Chains A and B, each alone.
Chain A
Amino acid sequence: MSLEKIGEHDVQLASSHLVQAPLIVIDGECDHGGAGALRAAVEEALSADTRVVLIDLEKCTYIDSGGISVLLGAARTLRDRGWLGVLAPNDNVRRLFEIVGLTVDTSFRVFDHREDASRALEDLGR
């Protein structure tokens, strides 16, 4: 697991795996300033030709269009082969996903618990 403190921004990213799917944990506030590091982490995860990428938002206290645009881009990239899963977003973050239309995107899935994501990945057969 790698942990990266991003410059002066109040966000930390950690990368690991859940049932072989890349998992990125966002801890803190993911704004326009921190979006570049998230974009790099997501692009690295996508480059592994994986069908699913997971982003743990349980400790993400804030997100704006800087971070949301990275998630939208990832969901679009995965559309033909799988989906982007987000774990445990708080109510405010979830509301933003609804506003921008992410929650009606078939390649974007929200899981309340990590176990639910594990089950979905096992159903996917990998």
Chain B
Amino acid sequence: MMSPTGAGPEPGSPAGRCLRFSVQAQTARLAEIRRFVEEVGGEFGLDAERVFDLKVAVSEACANAAEHSGGSHVPLQLCARFHPDRLDFEITDGGGFRVPQVERRPRTDSRGLGLPLMVALMDEVRIRKTPGGGTNVTLSLLVSG
């Protein structure tokens, strides 16, 4: 599943460029994913607070994919697209489509905090079903001013 702008990096041009990372959907891989997010944040010039926000939001999206893949180790494709006015960070998995759970009632295990955190920390969150039946979560940060 790739949009027309996803043909790959455009060397020498920060705008429209993208960085990719492929990883298994496992909670044990979340630290590696955060290192990738730090790299993306550095390239895009995000301040430390926004890098932290993006790390949490991306981790929540990936943890959600990991939780639903069970032990099947679904591959995750991460793609950060640099635009002049925004950073779009896509997390795509090949597992079954599902919308991240939202907490309904307070429960002892307090699950379902992931989506509220993503929405609170990001400027835009989009959840789409891919043509292959997987899930694509796009987390966006808008450049202010």
Contacts and interface: CB of A to CB of B under 8 A. Distances in A.
Interface in A30-74: 31-33, 62, 64-66, 68-70, 72-73
Interface in B63-88: 63, 66-67
Nearest to B52: A92
Contacts of B55: 62
A65 B114 contact: yes
Contacts, number: 71
B60 interface: yes
A29 B34 contact: yes
Contact of A31 (B53, B59, B113): B59
Contact of B49 (A70, A76, A92, A100): A92
B31 to A, nearest CB: 5
Please classify how large the interface on chain A is, using the bins under 10, 10 to 19, 20 to 34, 35 or more: 20 to 34
Interface string B30-67: 11001000000000000011001101100110010011
Contact of A99 (B49, B67, B121): B121
Contacts of B67: 32
Contacts of B121: 99
B111 A69 contact: yes
5 shortest interchain CB distances as A-B pairs = A69-B110, A65-B113, A33-B27, A72-B110, A32-B27
B8 to A, nearest CB: 30
Most interface-central of A64, A72, A76, A100 (chain B CB within 10 A): A64
A104 B31 CA distance: 30
Contacts of B59: 31-32, 64
A67 B10 CA distance: 38
Contacts of A64: 56, 59-60, 63, 117
Contact of B117 (A7, A29, A99): A99
A123 interface: no
A69 B30 contact: no
Contact of A7 (B28, B52, B109): B28
B108 interface: yes
A4 interface: no
Contacts of A33: 27-28, 30-31
A68 B110 contact: yes
A10 interface: yes
